[in-house]
Chains A and B, each alone.
Chain A
Amino acid sequence: MNFGSIDGKKMEAEIMEAELVLPNYLSFKRIQMYDKYPKGQSRGRHWKHLKQIIQAENYQNYPPDEPNYVNIESPPSMRPCKRICDITGYEAPYYDPKTNLRYANTDVFKMIRSLPNEHVQRYLAMRNAAIVLK
């Protein structure tokens, strides 16, 4: 018990010194955090994701030549896609129809055939090609 309190004091001192924790009351604020978001009240989600924000912007109601967050987005590339081996990063002339992985040579092929399915899916997920069950 005694040890605990010493530990607690030491901890407090260390944290205080680093001023790690954001204070609850800040004089320069007109509305304090605890007033804005009172404790113990479930507020639910009070923010929108970017997708919802964009939807709410109703960009379709504005002239298309006026730049906005959506229409400044880049188009897909016109260049032929460089295909690289999912494992090694070398140029990948081959593709394994069983795992859908691209591979560079026979050694890599042997390796991907011995990979557990979870790893295969993680490799595929990196280029957004994994099977997603919904």
Chain B
Amino acid sequence: MPFISKIERQTDYNLFDSSIPIVIDNGASYFRIGWAGETEPRVVFRNIVQRPRLKATGETVTIVGDHDPALLKYFDCTRSGPRSAFDSNVVYQFEIMEYILDFAFDRLGATGSKIDHPILITECVCNPVQSRSKMGELLFQTYGVPSIAFGVDAAFSYKYNQQRGVCDKDGLAMCPGFNTTHVIPFVDGEPIYKGSCRSNIGGFHVTDYLKQLLSLKYPYHMARFTWEKVEDLKMEHCYIAPDYLSEAQLFQQGAKEAEEKTRMWQLPWVPPPTEEPPSEEEIARKAAIREKQGQRLREMAEAKRSSKINELENELHGLEFLLNQLAHVQESNVPSFLAETGYVSRQEIESARSKVVQSLRKAKGESKSDQAEIEKADSATNEKYSLINIPDDMLTADQLVEKRKQLSIKSMSEGRQRLKQKRYEEGLERERKQQLEEEKRLENPELYLEQLRSRYKDLSEKIDQRKRLKTNGGSTNGNGLAGSVGRGERLNAAQRERMRLLTTAAFDRGKGEDTFGAKDEDWQLYKLMSKDNDDDDEEPDEDNTELARISSRLQLLDPTFVPKVETGSSQPAEAPRTRPLTKEDFQIVFGVERFRCPEILFSPNWIGVDQVGLDEMAGVSMRRLSCKDEKLEERLTNSILVTGGSSLFPGIIERLEAGIRMIRPCGSPIKIVRALDPVMDAWRGASAYASAPGFHTQTFTRMDYDVNGEDWLRSYQLKYSL
């Protein structure tokens, strides 16, 4: 049941005679104002002020109370949150108080040059005189109020209920409010403040506790838990358990009752769009497109190849023609003839020709068999490397250069030859192995598969381990949650090991005898320390290829085998892929919180307030009263009225009764009732009080205040029974 503001401007202000008092219940959470003698306040709003800037003009404006959040979009509220005039339950910021009173009188329809009505306004129990006098000054000076009376809200509520027979003239008023909780004993219909007590805990703390618990439980939805929302949740769902620990135990054991008591708040959630598998047509269409594209590419490649062949053939013809011509030219004329063509010698032309022939062959796709090449190479060796076997001193400078060139060419081609040979041998070896495996498989297929699988598992684990070590070695070193921040995070395991070695080496000096170097292994340390020992990539590479081989083999042989998806190395961008958010991720579950939060009224030390809880306060209050009259004490406990906004929690009466029974002698009568309307009764009581004929005897004017001074105001106290 959320509180509802009432802020329509009243039109009948001028119909009220100036003798009719205005009644104000100035509560820390809600401000209520109305006319004496009426049963409902005219204007009710949250006792807060906001001073945002208008987005359009940048002007600072004042907004009092709660308003439609939709209208707040025109304001820049970033610099000012809602502010209250209260510190605990005492008014301390009178500038804010003035804004609130402005708004309240304005909405009550006030016109004229002053507020020409007596005012009854509520305050807390034993309000410090500074706050009281400031309030008086404000009302007298700024609003021109003729007279004022201050009263206590809980007392008015008690009196109101007493008049309706809910409670007796002797009794206790227990008032869990917004910032504080009071217990006030009443004797003969008058509150005895000497026996009252106050714990600094109230509905504000309950809401705040709930808000903090929820935002810690659901950090992702923190923005959802606005003050207003949590306040609503509190009003709607919180209750007070008859016995906290046994109720919590129900939840701990996951009992059925607990499940029934759990409430859930579903935040708006839109299921992510599901990807439908493409239809047959779609697949066919895509395949056709791909086919077409492939065809085009192939055609292009073909065209390119044929044009290249053409070109090469032309060149070949040209060269052959040149050679033919050269055959007819005399030896002495060769240089001049060649000068036009750009070639230097006949050999050069021939080598160019052979090159062209070769590339032509390649272009036409004729495989040049290794054998043929080797033979050719063999036959060509002699002329190609004609200078190699001739000693240096028999050669000219040019020939020496030539010889060096030939040497390097020869060694290169020999290297190539060797590599080819090696590859060939490796191929043979692999084939042999495969054959061996095949034989094994045929011999015992089950066992073979088993072995393959276990080997796959081993290898993949090994690789994973290595990867983990490389990325975050910290997960295993166990030195705690808080320690894993800072520099350590950024280094991989190997680097960190290196740092460790370096630091130990640096601080190792002077500790006993230095035996470093006595053993050969000691020197290994430097190898570990050196920066370039990080490259441990070779082995895992081997492992990776082996793993790939096994997995492909398994895929071939084992229909049930599913290769592990590689998340780390293959697509690092997609690596931290989270599971899709589900409906459950957007559910706020209230289980224990429902009764844990209001429980702080009974155990204030849970939020660090070292004071007695609500039930014990009754005992404290009676002790302070020290009436030594058992009959009176019995009368007091026989008429306990619970009022105030936080007394709306279901179960509070039963719980209070159990708690008070513990501190009272066995068999003493205990009767606890809730006020008719715990929220509104204070104002109604005040309204009834202000309409009584004797009310004017309880008010004071500005003159009284000026004559009698602060000391008099300090001891000012309303007489509640008129």
Which residues of A pack against B, CB within 8 Å?
8, 11, 14-15, 18-23, 26-31, 33, 36-37, 46-50, 53-54, 56-57, 65-69, 72-79, 81-82, 84, 88-91, 98, 104-105, 113-117, 119, 122-123, 126-129
User: Is B611 a contact partner of A27 (Cβ separation < 8 A)?
Assistant: no
Task: Kindly state the separation between the CA atoms of A69 and B141 in the bound complex, as whole angstroms.
Answer: 26
Query: Residues 243-256 of chain B: 1 if any A CB is under 8 Å from the residue's CB, otherwise 0?
Result: 01100110110000
User: Is A84 a contact partner of B606 (Cβ separation < 8 A)?
Assistant: yes
User: Is A15 a contact partner of B612 (Cβ separation < 8 A)?
Assistant: no
Interface positions of B from 227 to 251, Cβ below 8 Å from A = 244-245, 248-249, 251
Task: Kindly state the separation between the CA atoms of A30 and B142 in the bound complex, as whole angstroms.
Answer: 5
The 9 closest A-B pairs by CB, nearest first: A128-B608, A89-B592, A50-B87, A67-B193, A89-B596, A22-B62, A74-B611, A74-B199, A28-B110
User: Is B481 a contact partner of A18 (Cβ separation < 8 A)?
Assistant: no
22 examples of A-B residue contacts, CB within 8 angstroms: A15-B74, A21-B62, A26-B102, A27-B112, A29-B142, A30-B141, A30-B144, A33-B98, A50-B87, A53-B130, A54-B128, A56-B130, A57-B129, A66-B194, A72-B198, A73-B611, A78-B616, A81-B605, A115-B481, A119-B219, A126-B608, A128-B607
Interface-side segment among B64-72, B632-640, B680-688:
B64-72
Residues on the A chain within 8 Å of B200, using CB: 73
Residues on the B chain within 8 Å of A26, using CB: 102, 105-106, 110
User: Is A76 a contact partner of B610 (Cβ separation < 8 A)?
Assistant: yes
Residues on the B chain within 8 Å of A15, using CB: 71, 74
- Decide if the interface of chain A is mainly helix, strand, loop or mixed: loop
Query: Residues 117-137 of chain B: 1 if any A CB is under 8 Å from the residue's CB, otherwise 0?
Result: 000000011111111000000
- Residue B482 at the A interface, CB < 8 A? yes
Provided the pairs A69-B90, A77-B616, A128-B607 are in contact, do residues A20 and B67 lie with their beta carbons within 8 angstroms?
yes
> How close is A53's CB to chain B, nearest CB, in angstroms?
5
- Residue B337 at the A interface, CB < 8 A? no
User: Is A75 a contact partner of B620 (Cβ separation < 8 A)?
Assistant: yes
User: Is B142 a contact partner of A36 (Cβ separation < 8 A)?
Assistant: yes
> How close is B516's CB to chain A, nearest CB, in angstroms?
37
User: Is B252 a contact partner of A22 (Cβ separation < 8 A)?
Assistant: no
Given contacts A18-B71, A73-B611, 10 further A-B pairs with CB under 8 A are A22-B106, A27-B113, A50-B87, A77-B603, A82-B606, A90-B252, A104-B252, A119-B219, A126-B209, A126-B212
- Residue B617 at the A interface, CB < 8 A? yes
User: Is A19 a contact partner of B9 (Cβ separation < 8 A)?
Assistant: yes
User: Is A67 a contact partner of B216 (Cβ separation < 8 A)?
Assistant: no
Provided the pairs A15-B74, A20-B71 are in contact, do residues A27 and B248 lie with their beta carbons within 8 angstroms?
no
Task: Kindly state the separation between the CA atoms of A74 and B613 in the bound complex, as whole angstroms.
Answer: 9
- Residue B94 at the A interface, CB < 8 A? yes
User: Is A122 a contact partner of B113 (Cβ separation < 8 A)?
Assistant: no
Task: Kindly state the separation between the CA atoms of A18 and B609 in the bound complex, as whole angstroms.
Answer: 41
Q: Which of B113, B127, B143, B216 is close to A123, meaning CB atoms less than 8 Å apart?
A: B216
User: Is A72 a contact partner of B105 (Cβ separation < 8 A)?
Assistant: no
User: Is B605 a contact partner of A20 (Cβ separation < 8 A)?
Assistant: no
Task: Kindly state the separation between the CA atoms of A53 and B95 in the bound complex, as whole angstroms.
Answer: 16
Task: Kindly state the separation between the CA atoms of A73 and B612 in the bound complex, as whole angstroms.
Answer: 10
Residues on the B chain within 8 Å of A29, using CB: 102, 114, 142-143
Task: Kindly state the separation between the CA atoms of A28 and B98 in the bound complex, as whole angstroms.
Answer: 13
> How many residues does chain B have at the interface if contact means C-beta atoms less than 8 Å apart?
79
Closest to A45 in B: B93
> How close is B685's CB to chain A, nearest CB, in angstroms?
21
> How close is A130's CB to chain B, nearest CB, in angstroms?
9
Query: Residues 582-624 of chain B: 1 if any A CB is under 8 Å from the residue's CB, otherwise 0?
Result: 0000000000110010000001111111111100110010000
Provided the pairs A47-B92, A49-B92, A117-B482 are in contact, do residues A21 and B111 lie with their beta carbons within 8 angstroms?
no
Closest to B95 in A: A37
> How close is B16's CB to chain A, nearest CB, in angstroms?
14
User: Is A82 a contact partner of B245 (Cβ separation < 8 A)?
Assistant: yes
Closest to A113 in B: B481
Residues on the B chain within 8 Å of A74, using CB: 197-199, 611-612, 616-617, 620
- Residue B115 at the A interface, CB < 8 A? yes
Provided the pairs A22-B103, A117-B482, A126-B607 are in contact, do residues A91 and B143 lie with their beta carbons within 8 angstroms?
no
> How close is B316's CB to chain A, nearest CB, in angstroms?
76
Residues on the B chain within 8 Å of A69, using CB: 90, 124, 126-128
User: Is B99 a contact partner of A116 (Cβ separation < 8 A)?
Assistant: no
- Residue B643 at the A interface, CB < 8 A? no
> How close is B58's CB to chain A, nearest CB, in angstroms?
13
Provided the pairs A82-B603, A119-B216 are in contact, do residues A21 and B612 lie with their beta carbons within 8 angstroms?
no
Q: Which of B130, B610, B616 is close to A79, meaning CB atoms less than 8 Å apart?
A: B616
* Centre residue among A20, A104, A113 by max chain B CB count within 10 A: A20
Q: Which of A14, A33, A54 is close to B102, meaning CB atoms less than 8 Å apart?
A: A33
User: Is A47 a contact partner of B252 (Cβ separation < 8 A)?
Assistant: no
Residues on the B chain within 8 Å of A72, using CB: 125-126, 193, 196-198
- Residue B88 at the A interface, CB < 8 A? yes
Q: Which of A57, A79, A129 is close to B128, meaning CB atoms less than 8 Å apart?
A: A57
User: Is B194 a contact partner of A50 (Cβ separation < 8 A)?
Assistant: no
Provided the pairs A18-B67, A119-B216, A127-B605 are in contact, do residues A77 and B611 lie with their beta carbons within 8 angstroms?
yes
User: Is A30 a contact partner of B114 (Cβ separation < 8 A)?
Assistant: yes
Task: Kindly state the separation between the CA atoms of A98 and B483 in the bound complex, as whole angstroms.
Answer: 12
- Residue B63 at the A interface, CB < 8 A? yes
Provided the pairs A77-B611, A127-B605 are in contact, do residues A88 and B90 lie with their beta carbons within 8 angstroms?
no
- Residue B56 at the A interface, CB < 8 A? yes
Q: Which of A31, A68, A122 is close to B126, meaning CB atoms less than 8 Å apart?
A: A68
Task: Kindly state the separation between the CA atoms of A11 and B63 in the bound complex, as whole angstroms.
Answer: 15
Provided the pairs A29-B102, A127-B608 are in contact, do residues A77 and B613 lie with their beta carbons within 8 angstroms?
yes
Task: Kindly state the separation between the CA atoms of A18 and B209 in the bound complex, as whole angstroms.
Answer: 33
Provided the pairs A28-B111, A33-B102, A47-B92 are in contact, do residues A122 and B216 lie with their beta carbons within 8 angstroms?
yes
> How close is B61's CB to chain A, nearest CB, in angstroms?
5
Residues on the A chain within 8 Å of B98, using CB: 33, 36
Closest to A130 in B: B608
Residues on the B chain within 8 Å of A127, using CB: 605-608
Task: Kindly state the separation between the CA atoms of A105 and B254 in the bound complex, as whole angstroms.
Answer: 14
Task: Kindly state the separation between the CA atoms of A66 and B715 in the bound complex, as whole angstroms.
Answer: 10
Closest to B86 in A: A50
Task: Kindly state the separation between the CA atoms of A127 and B216 in the bound complex, as whole angstroms.
Answer: 14
Closest to B614 in A: A74
User: Is B113 a contact partner of A28 (Cβ separation < 8 A)?
Assistant: yes
Task: Kindly state the separation between the CA atoms of A50 and B128 in the bound complex, as whole angstroms.
Answer: 9
Task: Kindly state the separation between the CA atoms of A76 and B605 in the bound complex, as whole angstroms.
Answer: 9
User: Is B115 a contact partner of A28 (Cβ separation < 8 A)?
Assistant: yes
Task: Kindly state the separation between the CA atoms of A66 and B717 in the bound complex, as whole angstroms.
Answer: 13
Task: Kindly state the separation between the CA atoms of A98 and B482 in the bound complex, as whole angstroms.
Answer: 10
User: Is B62 a contact partner of A82 (Cβ separation < 8 A)?
Assistant: no
Task: Kindly state the separation between the CA atoms of A37 and B611 in the bound complex, as whole angstroms.
Answer: 40
> How close is A50's CB to chain B, nearest CB, in angstroms?
4
Residues on the B chain within 8 Å of A73, using CB: 197-200, 611
Provided the pairs A28-B105, A114-B481 are in contact, do residues A90 and B128 lie with their beta carbons within 8 angstroms?
no
User: Is B248 a contact partner of A116 (Cβ separation < 8 A)?
Assistant: no
Task: Kindly state the separation between the CA atoms of A61 and B336 in the bound complex, as whole angstroms.
Answer: 130
Task: Kindly state the separation between the CA atoms of A115 and B128 in the bound complex, as whole angstroms.
Answer: 44
Residues on the A chain within 8 Å of B198, using CB: 72-74
> How close is B707's CB to chain A, nearest CB, in angstroms?
21
